[in-house]
């Protein structure tokens, strides 16, 4: 499985890149090279990779391996597929990104608007069970990439 960090072509994706002043606007999982598991404005779900690539450019990828991938994928999808997008939490994060961009006010460590049983794209990282030492609802996709790059094993196949 690959952890993908991409830039979308929608106005919302472009706004995210602009507000955070970062190269990516989205995080997703690529399963077996064919299926993308993501949270977008429609909620959490699966999409064909070819369809995803028609609207997203992959900027960074990280490898993630599991000893029992089929049971891992089943668990991943069972836990989150069909859940709604975290509109309220994502709105707070975008608001805070704009405050940081214009007034240099740091993004707080916790997101008071995070909604239970909802996910924005970055919050899906919680399904990996990693300790990333930060609330994912306060992270941009690029900040998540940098954090995962520092905590994942450097050799593929060692997770």
10: CATH: 3.90.1720
Position 12 confidence tier, pLDDT thresholds 50, 70, 90: very high
Task: Inform me whether the pLDDT recorded for 88 exceeds 80.
Answer: yes
pTM to 2 decimals? 0.94
Exposed e or buried b for every residue in 64-76, given b needs 16+ CB within 10 A?
beeeeeeebbeeb
Task: Inform me whether the pLDDT recorded for 157 exceeds 90.
Answer: no
Q: Does any domain span residue 159?
A: no
Q: Does any domain span residue 157?
A: no
Question: For the chain, how many structural domains are there in total?
Answer: 1
Tokens, residue 70: 């089929």
Task: Inform me whether the pLDDT recorded for 159 exceeds 70.
Answer: no
Q: Does any domain span residue 13?
A: yes
- Identify the domain containing residue 124 by its residue range: 2-151
Which residues does residue 44 pair with via DSSP β-bridges, in sequence order?
Answer: 39
- Report whether 38 contacts 52 (CB < 8 A): yes
The DSSP symbol for 155 reads S
| Rounded average pLDDT over 30-49 | 97
Q: Does any domain span residue 39?
A: yes
Distance, CA of 7 to CA of 56 (rounded, Å): 5
Q: Does any domain span residue 158?
A: no
Task: Inform me whether the pLDDT recorded for 54 exceeds 70.
Answer: yes
Q: In percent, how much of the chain has pLDDT > 90?
A: 91
């Amino acid at each position: 499985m690959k952890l993908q960090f991409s830039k979308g072509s929608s106005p919302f994706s472009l706004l995210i890149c602009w507000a955070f002043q970062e190269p990516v606007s989205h995080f997703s999982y690529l399963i077996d090279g064919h299926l993308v598991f993501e949270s977008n404005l429609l909620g959490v779900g699966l999409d064909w990779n070819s369809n995803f690539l028609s609207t997203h450019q992959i900027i960074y990828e990280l490898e993630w391996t599991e000893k029992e991938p089929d049971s891992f994928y089943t668990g991943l999808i069972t836990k989150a597929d069909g859940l709604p997008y975290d509109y309220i939490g994502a709105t707070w994060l975008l608001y805070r990104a704009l405050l940081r961009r214009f007034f240099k006010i740091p993004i707080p460590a916790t997101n008071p608007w995070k909604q239970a049983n909802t996910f924005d794209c970055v919050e899906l990282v919680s399904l990996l069970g990693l300790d990333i030492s930060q609330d994912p609802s306060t992270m941009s996709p690029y900040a998540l990439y940098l954090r995962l790059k520092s905590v994942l094993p450097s050799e593929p196949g060692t997770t």
